[in-house]
A and B are shown apart, each in its own frame.
Chain A
Amino acid sequence: QQPVQSPQAVILREGEDAVINCSSSKALYSVHWYRQKHGEAPVFLMILLKGGEQKGHDKISASFNEKKQQSSLYLTASQLSYSGTYFCGTEAPGNTPLVFGKGTRLSVIA
């Protein structure tokens, strides 16, 4: 079952912040975040493992609340290069595949 992402789309001006949320109805082992530019393949951003950790990657960070089966991706001081569609992928415990949400389209304008 696909995780649920919100919002579906967001428009930002350069320098503004955004939060993208991901929730699952199943118990999770890990949450992955990917960014896809138009016409290209998704590219890995970060992974959060069971344990409720928070990670950062430049001005992009994420958190994982395993009790609520929720993850959030935080984009601060957005840049034009942040534009794209962001996907969360969830992994259940055991030998299971990554299942992705429908994506959040982020547009950063000057």
Chain B
Amino acid sequence: NAGVTQTPKFQVLKTGQSMTLQCAQDMNHEYMSWYRQDPGMGLRLIHYSVGAGITDQGEVPNGYNVSRSTTEDFPLRLLSAAPSQTSVYFCASRTGVGQPQHFGDGTRLSIL
């Protein structure tokens, strides 16, 4: 099993560009989440999903979109990149309520 796979691992964008961060899991997990990690801020929740076709906003959703058309995939879209979105992005998944969460290796995104 590959676990949670995130692509790309590194990306540099220019302000105003759009892009999609990919996240796929092969564990048949229902719950998936996106977090961003900035120095001193911990892991902040962007969007999450409790199953295919169901998504909801987290603490810092502005500037990001998600969709969940399959159980396996949960892409994160940056609509118009801004320097404030420079961060490390983690995708995570778990079976359901009260279960451990597995993280991907992260995507390091820089916006110039």
Contacts and interface: CB of A to CB of B under 8 A. Distances in A.
Interface of A: 1-2, 5, 29-30, 32, 34, 40-44, 47, 49, 87, 89, 91, 94-95, 97-103
Contacts, number: 63
Given A87-B42, A91-B97, A41 B33 contact: no
Nearest to B32: A97
Contacts of B100: 32, 44, 47
Contact of A44 (B56, B101, B104): B101
A97 B101 CA distance: 10
Contacts of B35: 100
Nearest to B100: A44
Contacts of B105: 40-41
Interface residues of B, number: 27
Interface string B31-52: 1010100001111110010100
A43 to B, nearest CB: 8
Given A91-B98, A95-B97, A100-B35, A41 B45 contact: no
Contacts of A89: 43, 101
A29 B98 contact: yes
Most buried by B among A5, A44, A94: A44
B102 interface: yes
A94 B50 CA distance: 11
A97 B48 CA distance: 7
Nearest to A47: B100
Given A87-B43, A100-B42, A32 B101 contact: yes
Contacts of B44: 2, 100
Contact of B58 (A30, A97, A101): A97
B103 interface: yes
B108 to A, nearest CB: 9
Contacts of A41: 90, 103-106
Nearest to B34: A97
Interface string B56-72: 10110000000000000
Contacts of B48: 97
